[in-house]
């Protein structure tokens, strides 16, 4: 009986063992990005910009040119790269501690200016690489190494919803939030990423996609329970969907 190959590795994804923790969704996000780079025909012209955090390891898994940015500064570095090489497809790949904390100013100003870049934002509500500290997106009551009793609304404020903020900026062309906790949501995530990448290809401005992701190690959950946490705790606070889509209307100037 002959076998038919129905699932293969994208050409843009390097064939090597992953170092990520069991149940981590970074590998899923890498595959989606790699698939789209191939399908859209931009892999040869792609330049990745990532900064500090688990996101930095994307250099090891995507077969594209890359620039390493200081912590949080990926959108600023990407802005410079795109200004110097307008013919290249430039995108950032960042975590929530990186993008929504030390890098808040960089991503907001890049979006507000309508920079012709794409931003992939992986939100697992914790500093995954540096010790499990509280992040700007940590949920109320969630325990971390820096809030062992749980995040408190009175003292630390509410978790920041980045996609809604980006959508409210005049220069942003596309802003959406997806999740990587099940097959249905993963397929939707790819559609959103395609739209964000298309913004840049068509020279219509800033594309932003937030991906809700699991961090079983720092959440102290097994992978199955971590997926369930995304469904029961994260999605109710961070609703999925498109928050701005001006691609068909011409986007930013």
Residue 21 lies in a domain: no
pLDDT in tens, the chain (253 residues): 788 887 788 899 999 988 899 999 999 999 999 999 999 999 999 999 988 878 777 888 999 999 999 989 999 999 999 999 999 999 999 999 899 999 999 999 999 999 999 999 999 999 987 787 899 999 999 999 989 999 999 999 999 999 999 999 999 999 999 999 999 999 999 999 999 999 999 999 999 999 999 999 999 999 999 999 999 999 999 999 999 999 876 665 4
Count of structural domains within the chain: 1
Residue 2 lies in a domain: no
R_g over Cα of the chain: 17
Residue 14 lies in a domain: no
- The answer for 106, left when phi > 0, alpha when psi is -120 to 50, beta otherwise, is alpha
Residue 93 lies in a domain: yes
Instruction: Measure the CA–CA gap between 127 and 65, rounded to whole angstroms.
Output: 26
CATH number of the domain that residue 162 is part of: 3.40.50.970
In this prediction, residue 251 carries a pLDDT of: 60
Instruction: Measure the CA–CA gap between 33 and 41, rounded to whole angstroms.
Output: 12
Taking the whole predicted model, whether its pTM rises above 0.75 is answered as yes
DSSP 132: S
Structural domain range at position 222: 26-249
Burial per residue of 152-162, b for 16 or more beta-carbon CB atoms within 10 angstroms, e otherwise: eeeeeeebbbb
Residue 228 lies in a domain: yes
In this prediction, residue 250 carries a pLDDT of: 62
């Amino acid at each position: 009986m002959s076998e038919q190959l129905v699932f293969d590795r994208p050409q843009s994804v390097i064939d090597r063992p992953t170092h990520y923790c069991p149940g981590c969704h970074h590998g899923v996000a890498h595959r989606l990005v790699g698939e789209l780079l191939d399908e859209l025909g931009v892999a040869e012209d792609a330049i990745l910009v990532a900064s500090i955090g688990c996101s930095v390891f994307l250099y090891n898994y995507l077969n594209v040119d890359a620039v390493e940015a200081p912590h949080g500064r990926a959108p600023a570095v990407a802005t410079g790269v795109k200004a110097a090489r307008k013919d290249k497809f430039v995108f950032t790949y960042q975590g929530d501690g990186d993008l929504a904390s030390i890098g808040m100013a960089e991503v907001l100003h890049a979006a507000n200016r309508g920079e012709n870049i794409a931003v992939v934002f992986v939100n697992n509500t914790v500093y995954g690489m540096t010790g499990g500290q509280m992040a700007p997106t940590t949920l109320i009551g969630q325990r971390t190494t820096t809030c062992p009793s749980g995040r408190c609304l009175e003292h630390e404020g509410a978790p920041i919803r980045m996609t809604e903020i980006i959508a409210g900026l005049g220069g942003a062309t596309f802003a959406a939030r997806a999740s990587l906790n099940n097959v249905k949501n993963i397929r939707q995530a790819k559609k959103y990423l395609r739209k964000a990448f298309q913004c840049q290809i068509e020279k219509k401005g800033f594309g932003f996609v937030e991906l809700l992701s699991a961090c079983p190690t720092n959440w102290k959950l097994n992978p199955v329970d971590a997926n369930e946490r995304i469904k029961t705790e994260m999605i109710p606070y961070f609703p999925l969907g498109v928050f701005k889509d001006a691609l068909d209307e011409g986007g930013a100037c």
